[in-house]
C-alpha cells in the first residue's frame, strides 16, 4: 500500500456492480462510495439484511450542500428540493437503507472527528440489547472548496485532504468471516491530557502498552503527534510499532474508520498480531481510542 501523494486518486470500484444505472446517475460521490462499500461489506459477510444501519460522518454530503447553496444564490423564486434533501447528513444512511430495502434502526452520528467512534459506541449498545448484526461505517468527501478554505486559513497539513468510506458488519457472536473483535471504544471531547487518557483506557481493559503489536494514530497536528509518540514510547511501545495512518488515507473527518479497516487487514497479514490500538487524534481537542483484538489470537 503506497502512501498518499499529490498524484494520488480515489480508488473507485465499478459502481454499476453495486448500484442500478438510473440511481447511479443521481448519486453524488459520497453516496456512491457509501452504498457500494456497504453492499460489498454485506456480500463479504454473506448477509442480506442487517438488523440496523449506523453511519458516522463529519461533514456529510458536501457536494450536494454546495450545489444547493449555489442554487439558492442564483435562482429566483421556488428552489428545486432535490439538492437540499440530499445535502443532509443522514442521506448516507437513508440511501443505504433504500438500496437494500432495510426497515430497521437507521442512525447517523456527526460529531466532527469523533463521528465514527460514536457510531461504534451506538453499535455496541445495539448488540448488547437486541440486535444480532449491525452494518456500521463512516464516510466523508472532499470538494475543491475545502482546499480553498485551507489556503485562506493558511493551514499547513502533512498530507492531502481526501475522501473515504469504510463499512463493517458487526455481530454479537464470532462468525467464520470475522477478522477482529473490538475490545474497547472511547471518545473524549475537549481532552486535556492525552497521555493520561491513553493510559487509563489501557488500564481499564487490562492491557499493557507493551502488549500492543501495532498503534495506528493520526499525525496531522505536530504538537499532538509528539505528545502521542512520547507517551507510547515511554510506555514501552517501539517506534517501529507506531504507524501514522493518515499517510495512507489522507485527511478527512472519519479517517479512523479507514484505520480500523487497516487494523483488520494487518491481522490477516500478520497472524502473530494480537492487539492493535487506533488512536484518533486528528483534532487536537478530541481523542478517539479503539482497541482491537485478533480473533485468531
Q: Residue 225's pLDDT is what?
A: 81
Average pLDDT of the chain is: 91
Instruction: Choose the final residue of a domain: 147, 171, 195.
Output: 171
- Tell whether 7 is covered by a domain: no
Residues 22 and 162 in one domain: yes
Residues 44 and 154 in one domain: yes
- Residue 7 reports pLDDT greater than 80: no
Q: Residue 75's pLDDT is what?
A: 82
Give pLDDT tens digits for 159-199: 899 999 999 999 998 877 888 999 999 999 998 888 889 99
Give pLDDT tens digits for 9-27: 778 889 999 998 888 888 8
- Residue 208 reports pLDDT greater than 90: yes
The domain tally of the chain equals 2
Average pLDDT over residues 72-78: 82
Give pLDDT tens digits for 275-288: 999 999 999 889 99
Q: Residue 1's pLDDT is what?
A: 61
Highest average pLDDT, of 60-69, 103-112, 149-158, 211-220, comes from 103-112
Q: Residue 263's pLDDT is what?
A: 97
Residues 165 and 189 in one domain: no
Q: Residue 176's pLDDT is what?
A: 77
Which residue, among 244, 231, 252, has the nearest Cα to 278 in the 3D structure? Answer: 244
CATH number of the domain that residue 54 is part of: 3.40.47.10
Q: By residue range, what is the domain housing residue 231?
A: 180-294
Lookup: cell for 65: 450542500
Instruction: Choose the final residue of a domain: 149, 171, 193.
Output: 171
Residues 162 and 67 in one domain: yes
Residues 35 and 142 in one domain: yes
- Tell whether 8 is covered by a domain: no
Instruction: Choose the final residue of a domain: 102, 137, 171.
Output: 171
Distance between CA atoms of 181 and 118, rounded to whole angstroms?
17
Give pLDDT tens digits for 211-260: 999 999 998 887 788 888 888 888 889 999 999 999 999 999 999 999 99
- Residue 3 reports pLDDT greater than 80: no
| pTM of the predicted structure, to 2 decimals | 0.94
- Tell whether 1 is covered by a domain: no
CA 259 to chain CA mean position, Å: 7
Residues 158 and 213 in one domain: no
Q: What percent of the chain has pLDDT over 70?
A: 97
Residues 279 and 146 in one domain: no
Give pLDDT tens digits for 31-71: 999 999 999 999 999 999 999 999 999 999 999 999 888 88
Amino acid at each position: 500500500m503506497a502512501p498518499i501523494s499529490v498524484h494520488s486518486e480515489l480508488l473507485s470500484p465499478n459502481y454499476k456492480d453495486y448500484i442500478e444505472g438510473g440511481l447511479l446517475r443521481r448519486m453524488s460521490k459520497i453516496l456512491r462510495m457509501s452504498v457500494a462499500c456497504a453492499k460489498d461489506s454485506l456480500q463479504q459477510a454473506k448477509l442480506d439484511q442487517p438488523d440496523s444501519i449506523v453511519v458516522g460522518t463529519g461533514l456529510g454530503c458536501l457536494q450536494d450542500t454546495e450545489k444547493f447553496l449555489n442554487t439558492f444564490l442564483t435562482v429566483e423564486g421556488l428552489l428545486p428540493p432535490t439538492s437540499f434533501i440530499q445535502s443532509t447528513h443522514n442521506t448516507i444512511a437513508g440511501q443505504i437503507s433504500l438500496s437494500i430495502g432495510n426497515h430497521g434502526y437507521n442512525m447517523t452520528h456527526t460529531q466532527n472527528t469523533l463521528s465514527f467512534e460514536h457510531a461504534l459506541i451506538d453499535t455496541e449498545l445495539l448488540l448488547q440489547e437486541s440486535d444480532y448484526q449491525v452494518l456500521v461505517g463512516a464516510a466523508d468527501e472532499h470538494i475543491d472548496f475545502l482546499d480553498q478554505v485551507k489556503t485562506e486559513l493558511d493551514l499547513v497539513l502533512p498530507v492531502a485532504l481526501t475522501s473515504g468510506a469504510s463499512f463493517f458488519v458487526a455481530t454479537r457472536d464470532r462468525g467464520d468471516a470475522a477478522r477482529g473483535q473490538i475490545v474497547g471504544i472511547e471518545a473524549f471531547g475537549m481532552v486535556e491530557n492525552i497521555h493520561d487518557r491513553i493510559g487509563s483506557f489501557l488500564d481499564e481493559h487490562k492491557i499493557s502498552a507493551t502488549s500492543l503489536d501495532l498503534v495506528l494514530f493520526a499525525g496531522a497536528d505536530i504538537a499532538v503527534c509528539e505528545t502521542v509518540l512520547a507517551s507510547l514510547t515511554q510506555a514501552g511501545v517501539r517506534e517501529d510499532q507506531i504507524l501514522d495512518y493518515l499517510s495512507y488515507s489522507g485527511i478527512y473527518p472519519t479517517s479512523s474508520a479507514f484505520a480500523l479497516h487497516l487494523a483488520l487487514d494487518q491481522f490477516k497479514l500478520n497472524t502473530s498480531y494480537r492487539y492493535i490500538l487506533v488512536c484518533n487524534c486528528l483534532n487536537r481537542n478530541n481523542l478517539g481510542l479503539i482497541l482491537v483484538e485478533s480473533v485468531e489470537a
